[in-house]
Amino acid sequence: MQFRMSSEKGLLLALALWTFCPIGGPGGLNGREPAGPSCQTARFYPIIQVPVKEKNNSNKKRMKRTARSGFFGSIARRIEGFLPFKARNGFNRALYQYLARRVGEHEDLLFWNFGFAGPGSNGGKLPLADSDEKHRYCIQLYDHVASAVDLRGQDVLEVGCGCGGGSSFIMKRHLPRSFTALDQAKEAIEFCNRRYSIPGLSFSCGKAESLPFEKDAFDVVINVESSHGYGSLDHFLKEVQRVLRLNGYFLFTDFRHKDQIDELRGHLESSGFQFLKEEIITPHVLQAMELDHERKMSLLNRKAPRLLFNSLKYWWGTKDSKRYELFSSGEEIYFSYVLQKRNHSGGLSS
């Protein structure tokens, strides 16, 4: 990353890094088997159980303390309570805009997820072009999500596509009829439009909570490590219901604090989705963080200012970061859901 920035930009970036992280909430993850009819095309992986600890409100406070360490962490902690969501979302968007401006010079920034390590959908090593090797783990997360259903000939929407590396991989490897990718970061979408020219692949700027598409427009909606920053998960889920065709699939992966998982499941259920598969993939994500550590550190060591070093390691999930610690202790959980729209009742305007 070319961190030649004014102190104002630096502050903005630092605050963004610390303000977009989700913390707290009641509940726990149970990793239970999917309910409802199974889908013909879905391939199910074994569910990895993570022990659930007792609900505890003091956890919430402790998490806020431990997750945000360091100078900027403590500043963010102090002002966080006063910031309305809009302001936090603004910081979040500014961060991704900033990163999108840097991708041209730093190919390492093409993906913004923590990655997935493990065998590919065919049980072996995912074959990749040499130019994609450096993004192996981030691509593998996309492949894990996209392999849950057969995307051939389908109309697919990705919400929160970032710089489009995952969208273009899915388009080329999983052969949907069309792939529409959306992100709220305008500069990320501009980057995608300059970089990719693949028939059937298109990019739009827009918000997850009000998708700029007709109802019943897609067979599959994909969402990779993006939902933790949304203003309203309920609005997003209703929008997914609205734009999905009947029996369409919602392939959803992200992370949450362990106390937020039950609440998340509740939102998914009340939005009218049936669980075809749910899985805790934290061990795969942790392994990816370990295997991708050197690549990330090489860029950070060269370009990151000392003051932001720990914040950036946390954001990127290096193996010595607080983020890695939170996943390995089970405080934060990375989940992957295969969901299906079974009726027309859940959408905002269906």
- CB 123 to ligand SAM: min, Å: 24
Nearer to ligand SAM, 160 or 248 (CB): 160
Residues that bind ligand SAM (CB under 6 A): 96, 111-113, 160-162, 166, 183-185, 188, 207-209, 224-226, 229-230
Nearer to ligand SAM, 96 or 273 (CB): 96
Interior angle at CA 324, CA 321 and CA 325, nearest 5: 90
Task: Compute and round to an integer the Cα radius of gyration of the chain.
Answer: 19
User: In terms of DSSP bridges, do strands 332-341 and 155-159 run parallel, antiparallel, or are they unpaired?
Assistant: unpaired
Residues counted in the chain: 350
Residue type, 62: R
Nearest to 183 by CA among 198, 162, 165: 162
First to last CA, the chain: 44
Nearer to ligand SAM, 39 or 112 (CB): 112
Nearer to ligand SAM, 188 or 243 (CB): 188
Nearer to ligand SAM, 126 or 185 (CB): 185
Q: For ligand SAM, which residue has the nearest CB?
A: 162
User: In terms of DSSP bridges, do strands 218-224 and 244-257 run parallel, antiparallel, or are they unpaired?
Assistant: parallel
How far is it, in rounded angstroms, from Cα 172 to Cα 186?
24
Residue 228 makes CB contacts below 8 A (sequence gap 6+) with 20, 21, 22, 254, 255, 256
- CB 236 to ligand SAM: min, Å: 7
- Residue 97 in contact with residue 186, Cβ under 8 Å? yes
- CB 54 to ligand SAM: min, Å: 30
Nearer to ligand SAM, 159 or 276 (CB): 159
- Residue 92 in contact with residue 76, Cβ under 8 Å? no
